[in-house]
Amino acid sequence: MKTARGPLRIAGMSAPPIYPARSTDLDRAWLEVDDDALRHNARVLRARAGVPLLVMIKANAYGLGAVDSARALGLPFADQDEGQNQDQAHVSAADRPWGAGIASLDEAEELRAAGCTARLVCSTPLRAEELARAAALDLRPTLHREADIAAWSALSPAGALRPWHLAIDTGMARAGVRWDGVTPLRRILAAHPPEGVFTHFHSADESLVSREQQDVRFDEALAALMDVLPAGCLTHRDNSGGIVSRTTGSPGQLARPGIALYAGMFADELGLRQVPHLRARIVDLRHVEAGESVSYGATWTAPSRRTIATLAAGYADGYRRHLSNAGVVLIHGTRCPVVGRVTMDMTMVDVTDRPCAVGDVATLLGADGHDLLSTEWVAARGGVSPYELLVGLALRVPVVRCTGLRQRA
């Protein structure tokens, strides 16, 4: 959120009109984040995994606001005893996440400063110089080097070991000890046991063969360490792709959904609901004649006399330039094609024979009426990753936290 007062909160967004009318904040473009949809998705993933969730809210909750998403998901905050954390009432005790995943100390600091008391696991390896700060933030690092494990243990108070998780690389080749190289860690693990052990899949939703291979490798590593791991050690392996690829639940004690929480992928397969909705107002209308072009590079030429609407959002607002001549927006629930190149601050769409006026609202991503432009669909239209599309949505637009947005049946 770009203003000091924090995200706007609007409940009952399904009541007509579906768009807020606070011109001081929403006179140009904004991003609505549907907290009900976020909670729904978490419930679906919890039920499918069959184990508690370690929800990934790294990268500012995939661009949708880490602190507010953590609250919406029912993670604990210091102010909840004072009745200020109203989102706790929307999440049953069984559905509350075990903890949250972040990727940097700055992300952890933002959550702690907001009063978040949840278990926080850092999925990115930390340098030795960062461990003291991690301890001060009550963070669970993911470690795999003997020297780092010893250094982390040295930061523990007398008689207690600060929790940490052992990262095992089973084929991602990004971080962690190789599955076939865990034996040298046995002695230090016996002396300084981890709270959890995990691996990360690289293609679980694309290739069952690859997931099964990584499953086997992880099981081999666990077997090699079985007698030095503590009783009750938490194992976790399923990311969103792992959860969706299984039909009998996730193995281990935790599952780690990320992109699926925000319905960036697997919405149709799992019945997930759209979380982000990017809106922009029409700020200009004009006619162009046959043969005239629109936007930079003259990449689109009118085949006949057309009416063009200019929307007050462009790639600086997260609507990717890749959607030039490919994107679609909703105006009064009707699809209108993007014409010409998406510019930094504005996007042009063809609204010929579609009644609209300056000030009307266009939906560039999300739901309007009975139609939906899902994150995955919009990303595919632009040939970009849903991950990239999500994390760039709130570059400068204000964020509105909503409940009860109408979703397509």
Listed in sequence order, the residues at least 6 apart from 212 whose beta carbon sits closer than 8 Å to its beta carbon are none
Surface-to-core class of residue 123, CB atoms within 10 Å of its CB (0-12 exposed, 13-18 middle, 19+ buried):
buried
Radius of gyration of the chain (CA): 24
Listed in sequence order, the residues at least 6 apart from 197 whose beta carbon sits closer than 8 Å to its beta carbon are 165, 166, 168, 221, 222, 225, 229, 233, 234, 235
Q: Do residues 279 and 19 lie in contact, with contact meaning Cβ atoms separated by under 8 Å? A: yes
Candidates 2, 19, 58, 319; catalytic one: 58
What residues are paired with 61 via a beta bridge?
Answer: none
Q: How far apart are CA 349 and CA 307, in angstroms?
A: 9
Tokens, residue 91: 């999440």
Per-residue CA distances from 195 to 140, 153, 156 (Å) = 9, 12, 14
Instruction: Report the candidate in 181, 189, 87 with the shortest Cα–Cα distance to residue 146.
Output: 189
List, in sequence order, every beta strand (DSSP E) within 78-213: 99-102, 120-122, 139-143, 165-169, 177-178, 196-198
Candidates 62, 296, 315, 387; catalytic one: 296
Whether residue 2 lies in the annotated active site: no
DSSP annotation string for 373-395: E-HHHHHHHHT--HHHHHHTTTS
Per-residue CA distances from 134 to 122, 125, 128, 250 (Å) = 9, 11, 10, 29
Whether residue 58 lies in the annotated active site: yes
Element (H, E) at 43: helix 35-49
User: Which residues are identified as catalytic?
Assistant: 58, 296
